[in-house]
Amino acid sequence: MAGLETGTMSLTRRDVLIAGSAGFAGVALFSPPSARANDEALDLVEQLIGRKAMMSDRLHLIMPADFPTGYTVPMSLYIDSPMTEADHVRQMRVFAPRNPLIEVASFHFVPQRSLPRVSTRIRLAKPQHVVAVAEMNDGVLLMTTTWVRVATDGCA
């Protein structure tokens, strides 16, 4: 049930790099799009959440590919889901792996009551693949990534 709950835990990039020192090179996440970047993102999500996610084209993370400031980067997130009691998304989480603090936000939705979509503005320290993970009601984790290049550090 609480597979994605992290309580007050604050994840830093260092924690993740240490946790992933066996095999997680952390290189491809920090470069433009590639199949390898997806593999690295999958590894990262498994380290952060403790379970495997699968890449899915049901999940959409819409961000500008190029943005002048890292302070207020627009972000829209949605997933194709009927939002019935039997088939819905519980929450969607967003990670910025190259920020000093990786977690961005968790959005919680309610079947029949809210649509599984949200827009906000986020801070990015560097150009990076932003990662979104959806936890479905059956526990399946779906994920996607979007490459965003920012010209200035939004975390300074």
Partner 1 sequence: MTTPTPRVIVPSAAAKGEIFQVKTIISHEMETGLRHDDQGNVIPRKIINKFVCRYNETVVFSVDLHEAISANPFFEFSLRATESGRLDFVWEEDGGAVYTLSHQFTVG
Residue 101: count other Cβ atoms within 10 Å of its Cβ.
Answer: 15
Q: Shortest distance, CB of residue 64 to partner 1, whole angstroms?
A: 14
d(C-alpha 73, C-alpha 32), whole Å: 18
Using the Cα atoms of residue 156, residue 65, residue 72 and residue 130 in order, give the sign of their dihedral: negative
Report how far residue 61's alpha carbon sits from residue 79's, in angstroms, rounded to the nearest whole number. 9
The amino acid occupying position 28 is A
Q: Measured from the CB atom, is 5 or 39 closer to partner 1?
A: 5
Q: Tokens in use for 121? A: 């503005």
Q: How many CB atoms lie within 10 A of CB 50?
A: 9
Least distance from partner 1 to the Cβ atom of residue 35, Å: 26
C-beta of 128 vs 144, nearer to partner 1: 128
CB of 128 to partner 1, least distance (A): 11
Q: Which is nearer to partner 1, 8 or 23 (CB)?
A: 8
- Rule CB under 8 A: which residues touch partner 1? 10, 71-73, 96, 99-101, 103-110, 112-115, 117-124, 154-156
Nearer residue to partner 1 within complex by CB, 10 or 34? 10
69 backbone dihedrals φ, ψ, rounded to 5°: -125, 140
Taking the CA of residue 51 as centre, how many other CA atoms within 13 Å lie in the half-sphere pointing to its CB? 16
Decide whether 83 or 136 has the Cβ nearer to partner 1: 83
CB of 23 to partner 1, least distance (A): 26
Output the smallest distance, CB 93 to partner 1, in A: 9
